[in-house]
């Protein structure tokens, strides 16, 4: 048969072929990446899934919200298109009927007779509860170890809401940061190179969402998430990043790729301006939650402390002078938004953000550490141990004037709790402005799996922790030995802080440590 005869014959069988194609597509859709929900309001919730079709055309799937896990009492339902242009990810902003708001409801997606996992979620309560429990976490590095802490959050039925404060994914290649055990764990990154393109970021998100512990967390709890730097690349700012080189193309293109993939793969409610992810949530008069972006849209470039070393000594006077230059971290627009939304009617004002806010100096012990136990690039930093200068210019310590502007606004709230990620360690810090006025309490959450103090300093960790507490008036407690998450139990009279640890991320067999508990009283420093 020649080509012309073949094409002519094709016209006669087109209708039959179409019927066969439709039939063949009946079960050619799967839901391999689980389901997720997020950004609950008092009336609505975002439902998410990823469709995996065997064809590259948009596909319409159905979603259902039910009062029961058997889906006999359907509360809401509809259809949505999983688009090729959005990597076949789906998000639906679902209204929950009034009688069921604040209660557990069930949801799923389906295509013909193929069903996704069943998810459990809830909106925020419409009436003020006696208590509300928030788990928060950050720094989940896939090749560094297992997501045991995610599994523990999923199992904890007391948790009403999960906050992810950033570094949900990491961008490095197969030999990059914290990959030493990745082959043994069967957790080598995908793709194996550092992620730059849109397809790269999508594949990395897909690898993370393939993790069964993370899938279990997402399908059992609603999540409110914000990005930090590794969703883009290390130490990023508005126009660049420490881990972006010229041979990796234009940074703004890379940033656009990262943003698009993040918004596709996360259960986050989107704004018209994709970079403006700051948003607020309210639970009665008990608390308001303001989620900030300290990373992407307005952040000025960080001071590079490397520029102030002469050999192994730091030029303290020049360093401090340059640190005092006004730099933006959250920017004027976001600062105005904070000013307009902080309200004294709430017992607690909770700020969810990414980087350490308290002023913190390296303790003297660092100046006495044997260099032989550390990599060469860390040697010069030991010289600033006990020097009373900020060491982490990527955190709020690198933006002291912007921090003072924020503190000025936060003083207008009743009782402030700042929830922080990024450092991989646990922190309880008092926050004071430059005039020594108490602002609030900062709670820093440990890493899900990323390396912390003990992974670098080993047996010196206890002494380092004690040094931080002794030599920093703001630091009341810190712990750098364990990975895990933080549980915040909020009532009008107090907020109970529990640091929930797993004893290892190097094995799926682990134990839970739940002994570090602290009470924060309204508008009262930690003693």
Residue 11 has pLDDT above 80, yes or no: no
**Terminal-residue alpha carbon distance, the chain:** 88
* Dist. CA 395–CA 285, nearest whole Å: 31
Over residues 411-422, the pLDDT tens digits come to 999 999 999 999
Q: How confident is the model at residue 527 (pLDDT cuts 50, 70, 90)?
A: very high
Q: Lowest-pLDDT range, 22-26, 149-153, 372-376? A: 22-26
pLDDT in the model for residue 382: 86
pLDDT in the model for residue 27: 66
Of the chain, the percentage scoring pLDDT greater than 70 comes to 95
Q: How confident is the model at residue 9 (pLDDT cuts 50, 70, 90)?
A: very low
DSSP state of 223: E
Q: How confident is the model at residue 403 (pLDDT cuts 50, 70, 90)?
A: very high
Q: How confident is the model at residue 18 (pLDDT cuts 50, 70, 90)?
A: very low
pLDDT in the model for residue 377: 75
Max CA separation in the chain (angstroms): 89
Residue 249 has pLDDT above 80, yes or no: yes
Q: Which tokens sit at 315?
A: 């030029």
Q: Mean pLDDT across the chain, nearest whole number?
A: 94
Q: Using alpha carbons, select from 244, 235, 165, 181 the residue that is nearest to residue 417.
A: 165
CB 404 within 8 A of CB 433: yes
Q: Using alpha carbons, select from 132, 301, 138, 150 the residue that is nearest to residue 219.
A: 150
Over residues 486-501, the pLDDT tens digits come to 999 999 999 999 999 9
Over residues 59-93, the pLDDT tens digits come to 999 999 999 999 999 999 999 999 999 999 999 99
Residue 24 has pLDDT above 60, yes or no: no
How far are the Cα atoms of 352, 360, 450 from residue 422, in angstroms, in the given order? 12, 14, 10
Residue 160 has pLDDT above 60, yes or no: yes
Q: Using alpha carbons, select from 122, 117, 55, 113 the residue that is nearest to residue 82.
A: 55
Residue 19 has pLDDT above 50, yes or no: no
Query: For the residues 212-233, what does the mean pLDDT come to?
Result: 98
Q: Are strands 222-225 and 161-164 parallel, antiparallel or unpaired?
A: parallel
Beta strands in 67-145 (DSSP E): 74-82, 89-95, 105-111, 114-115, 119-121, 132-137
The three-point CA angle 303-306-310 to 5° equals 125
pLDDT in the model for residue 370: 85
Phi/psi zone of residue 79: left (φ > 0), alpha (ψ -120 to 50 degrees), beta? beta
pLDDT in the model for residue 192: 98
Q: How confident is the model at residue 376 (pLDDT cuts 50, 70, 90)?
A: confident
pLDDT in the model for residue 262: 98
Q: How confident is the model at residue 175 (pLDDT cuts 50, 70, 90)?
A: very high
Q: Lowest-pLDDT range, 18-22, 112-116, 285-289? A: 18-22
Q: Using alpha carbons, select from 344, 330, 364, 359 the residue that is nearest to residue 411.
A: 344
163's enclosing H/E stretch is strand 161-164
Residue 374 has pLDDT above 90, yes or no: no
Residue 22 has pLDDT above 70, yes or no: no
Over residues 195-207, the pLDDT tens digits come to 999 999 999 999 9
* Dist. CA 201–CA 248, nearest whole Å: 14
* Dist. CA 414–CA 218, nearest whole Å: 32
Q: Which tokens sit at 479?
A: 């712990």
pLDDT in the model for residue 304: 93
CB 217 within 8 A of CB 148: no
Greater pLDDT, 261 or 18: 261
Greater pLDDT, 383 or 377: 383
Residue 455 has pLDDT above 80, yes or no: yes
Q: Are strands 52-53 and 29-30 parallel, antiparallel or unpaired?
A: antiparallel
Tally DSSP H helices, then E strands, for the chain.
12, 27
Q: Using alpha carbons, select from 301, 296, 302 the residue that is nearest to residue 254.
A: 296
Over residues 251-293, the pLDDT tens digits come to 999 999 999 999 999 999 999 999 999 999 999 999 999 999 9
Q: Using alpha carbons, select from 25, 17, 24 the residue that is nearest to residue 9.
A: 17
Query: For the residues 376-398, what does the mean pLDDT come to?
Result: 90
Q: Which tokens sit at 260?
A: 């698009």
CB 463 within 8 A of CB 365: yes
Residue 109 has pLDDT above 90, yes or no: yes
* 228, 230, 236, 237: CA torsion to nearest 10: -20
Over residues 422-431, the pLDDT tens digits come to 999 999 999 9
pLDDT in the model for residue 75: 98
Domains and CATH numbers, the chain: 27-125 (2.60.40.380), 128-520 (3.60.21.70)
């Amino acid at each position: 048969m020649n080509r012309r005869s073949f094409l002519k014959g094709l016209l006669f069988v087109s209708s039959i072929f179409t019927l066969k194609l439709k039939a063949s597509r009946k079960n050619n859709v799967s839901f391999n990446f689980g389901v997720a929900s997020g950004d609950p309001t008092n009336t609505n919730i975002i439902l998410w899934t990823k469709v995996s079709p065997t064809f590259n055309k948009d596909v319409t799937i159905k979603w259902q919200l039910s009062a029961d896990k058997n889906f006999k009492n359907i509360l809401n339902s509809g259809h949505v298109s999983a688009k090729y242009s959005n990597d076949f990810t789906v998000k639906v902003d679902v209204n929950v009927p009034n009688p069921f708001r604040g209660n557990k409801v069930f949801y799923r997606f389906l295509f013909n007779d193929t069903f996704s996992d069943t998810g459990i979620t809830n909106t925020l309560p419409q009436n003020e509860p006696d208590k509300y429990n928030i788990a928060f976490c950050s720094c989940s590095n896939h090749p560094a170890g297992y997501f045991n802490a995610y599994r523990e959050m999923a199992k904890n039925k007391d948790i009403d809401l999960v906050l992810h404060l950033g570094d949900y994914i990491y961008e490095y290649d197969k030999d990059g940061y914290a990959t030493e055990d990745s082959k043994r764990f069967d957790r080598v990154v995908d793709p194996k190179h550092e992620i730059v393109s849109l397809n790269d970021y999508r594949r990395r998100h897909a690898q993370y969402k393939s993790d069964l512990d993370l899938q279990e967390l997402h399908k059992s709890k609603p999540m409110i998430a914000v990005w930090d730097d590794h969703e883009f690349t290390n130490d990023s700012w508005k126009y660049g990043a420490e881990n972006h080189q010229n041979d990796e193309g234009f940074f703004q293109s890379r940033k656009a790729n990262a943003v698009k993939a993040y918004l596709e793969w996360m259960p986050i409610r989107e704004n018209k301006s994709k970079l403006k992810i700051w948003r607020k949530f309210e639970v009665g008069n008990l608390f308001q939650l303001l989620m900030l972006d300290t990373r992407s849209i307005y952040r000025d470039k960080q001071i590079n402390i490397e520029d102030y070393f002469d050999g192994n000594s730091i030029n303290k006077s020049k360093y401090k002078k340059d640190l005092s230059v006004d730099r933006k971290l959250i920017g004027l627009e976001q600062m105005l938004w904070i000013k307009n939304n902080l309200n004294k009617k709430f017992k607690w004002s909770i700020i969810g953000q990414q980087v350490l806010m308290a002023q913190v100096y390296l303790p003297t012990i660092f100046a006495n550490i044997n260099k032989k136990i550390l990599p060469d690039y860390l040697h010069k930093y030991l010289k600033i141990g006990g020097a009373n200068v900020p060491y982490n210019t990527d955190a709020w310590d690198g933006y002291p004037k912007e921090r003072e502007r924020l503190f000025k606004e936060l003083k207008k709230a009743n009782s402030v709790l700042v929830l922080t990620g990024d450092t991989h360690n646990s922190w309880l810090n008092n926050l004071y402005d430059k005039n020594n006025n108490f602002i609030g309490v900062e709670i820093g959450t440990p890493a899900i799996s990323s390396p912390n103090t003990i992974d670098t300093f080993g047996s010196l960790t206890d002494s380092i922790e004690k040094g931080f507490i002794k030599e920093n008036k703001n630091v009341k407690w810190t712990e750098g030995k364990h990975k895990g998450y933080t549980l915040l139990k909020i009532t009008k009279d107090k907020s109970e802080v529990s640091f929930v640890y797993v004893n290892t991320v190097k094995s799926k067999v682990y134990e839970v440590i739940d002994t570090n508990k602290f009470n924060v009283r309204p508008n009262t420093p930690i003693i």
